[in-house]
Amino acid sequence: DVKVTQSSRYLVKRTGEKVFLECVQDMDHENMFWYRQDPGLGLRLIYFSYDVKMKEKGDIPEGYSVSREKKERFSLILESASTNQTSMYLCASTPNKQGGTPSLYFGEGSWLTVV
Amino acid sequence: AQSVTQPDIHITVSEGASLELRCNYSYGATPYLFWYVQSPGQGLQLLLKYFSGDTLVQGIKGFEAEFKRSQSSFNLRKPSVHWSDAAEYFCAVGPYGGATNKLIFGTGTLLAVQP
């Protein structure tokens, strides 16, 4: 089974702090994603990566950055956390696949509260 | 504009009753359609997906969905709901061909199951 692990499940941070959310997948997937989930808004894509050291902005990249130094690891960084970044963050991965749109494999999520 | 609408924010059904969750989409190209389920405090898990072929597609956990092009709908059904089906359900639409970053998620339907 594919496993996507988000090491921090629950975090409480202060406004202005730098926050790192880590995600590791164990199935050698090329593609990794960070989503934000808020009630009534569904999932919104923050950033994604198709390869090591490669990143692309999603729909809501403002206030976030990412790092992918190794294929299995994709980090989300909040340079200066703000209260409006309080949310559930979901990491996902997919393999490259010829034909079709591969399904996303999700981690269990990281609940971040910024006070 | 491309969009996914899940008209029902919250649904309550009795255990053993049948279930139908609605999903309507607006998409310019031939869509690739997904249903995901999110159990409390967990990430999302794929229930089923559809691109072509038989318009009735079977998924895991006894769920099925029917694609109706004329109605731009992809409704999820289950003949007999179990208490463990209580969760949030997300419909998603995207392009065929590997562009997972282009997936659009609905806002979700929260299912409660009464004993």
Nearest CA in chain A to B41: A108
Gyration radius of chain A over CA positions: 14
Mutation target vs A (from B8, B103, B104; most A CBs, 10 A cutoff)? B103
Mean pLDDT in residue range B30-37: 91
Q: Which residue of B has its CA nearest to A48?
A: B101
**Over the stretch B48-106, which tens digit does the pLDDT of each residue have?**
999 888 899 999 999 999 999 999 999 999 999 999 999 999 999 987 665 667 788 99
Contact A42, A49 (CB under 8 A): no
Pairing relation of β-strands B109-114 and B10-14?
Answer: parallel
HEC string for B17-48: CCEEECCEEECCCCEEEEEEEECCCCCEEEEE
Q: Where are the beta strands (DSSP E) in B1-115?
A: 3-5, 10-14, 19-21, 24-26, 31-38, 44-50, 56-58, 64-68, 73-78, 87-95, 104-105, 109-114
Residues B106-115 pLDDT 10s: 999 999 999 9
Judged by CB atoms closer than 8 Å, whether chains meet at A97 and B44 is answered as: no
